[in-house]
Amino acid sequence: MEIIEIKKVTLGDIEDLQKIGKQTFFETFAESNTPENMNKYLEDSFSVKKLSEEFSNEYSDSFSVKKLSEEFSNEYSEFYFALSNGEVIGYMKLNTGGSQTEAQQKESSEIERIYVLQDYHGKKVGQLLYEKAIQIAMKRRSEYVWLGVWEKNTRAISFYKKNDFVEFDKHIFVLGDDAQTDIMMKKML
């Protein structure tokens, strides 16, 4: 059986994060969206500049990038890689407190992203990333964990329902110029 390691992402991993983010998002959604919308979203959301803006003031002298990533500088956002034999095969982003993408209680946590390479679907990689998110949320004493999932992503919806998430609302997610509906789901801890 293959051993999967979960590792916290650091600024030194930013290129690997960009690569896995683009690849997994493309694999997951390219068939259901126009090439123009996919390209625009991938360029806007996974640029090194976006991922590395405003990392932290303490690092500003150490890096040539003027602004380092808000996502990394925020103590309430964390990224984790899933690794197989040292290769990145998936990742997860968890937000707590004010870093959540929708207004929620400060005692909640948001799983903003869990993505796994298609070659590793069905091999429990997503489950391991999910379990890490729950572990962190419980350590932070979150009352519940929530997320948004595209209404057409039946695989992900089934995964979350299997893990006891229930629907509680909807919101709009814009991909390129296409406004799409995400189902918001949560699980009480």
User: HEC states along the chain?
Assistant: CCCEEEEECCHHHHHHHHHHHHHHHHHHHHHHCCHHHHHHHHHHHCCHHHHHECCCHHHCCCCCCCCECHHHHCCCEEEEEEEECCEEEEEEEEEEHHHCCCCCCCCEEEEEEEEECHHHCCCCHHHHHHHHHHHHHHHCCCCEEEEEEECCCHHHHHHHHHCCCEEEEEEEEEECCEEEEEEEEEEEC
| pLDDT attached to residue 105 | 72
Q: How confident is the model at residue 179 (pLDDT cuts 50, 70, 90)?
A: confident
Residue 155 has pLDDT above 80, yes or no: yes
Which pTM does this prediction carry?
A: 0.79
Residue 23 has pLDDT above 50, yes or no: yes
Selecting among 80, 91, 130, 160, the annotated active-site residue is 160
Residue with more model confidence, 73 or 111? 111
Q: What percent of the chain has pLDDT over 70?
A: 76
Residue with more model confidence, 76 or 185? 185
pLDDT tens digits for range 26-81: 786 657 666 676 666 666 666 555 454 433 333 333 322 333 355 666 677 889 99
Lowest mean pLDDT among 15-29, 79-93, 157-171: 15-29
Q: Please report, as a single letter, which amino acid is at residue 18.
A: Q
Show the tokens assigned to 47: 């640029």
Q: Is residue 160 flagged as an active site residue?
A: yes
Instruction: Give the structural domain span for 48.
Output: 4-188
pLDDT tens digits for range 114-149: 999 999 999 999 999 999 999 999 999 999 999 999
For the domain that residue 101 is a member of, what is the CATH number? 3.40.630.30
Q: Please report, as a single letter, which amino acid is at residue 111.
A: I
Task: Tell me how many domains the chain contains.
Answer: 1
- Would you call 58 exposed, middle or buried from its count of C-beta atoms within 10 A (0-12, 13-18, 19+)? exposed
Q: What percent of the chain has pLDDT over 90?
A: 45
Residue with more model confidence, 152 or 76? 152
- Residue 92 · residue 79 · CB < 8 Å: yes
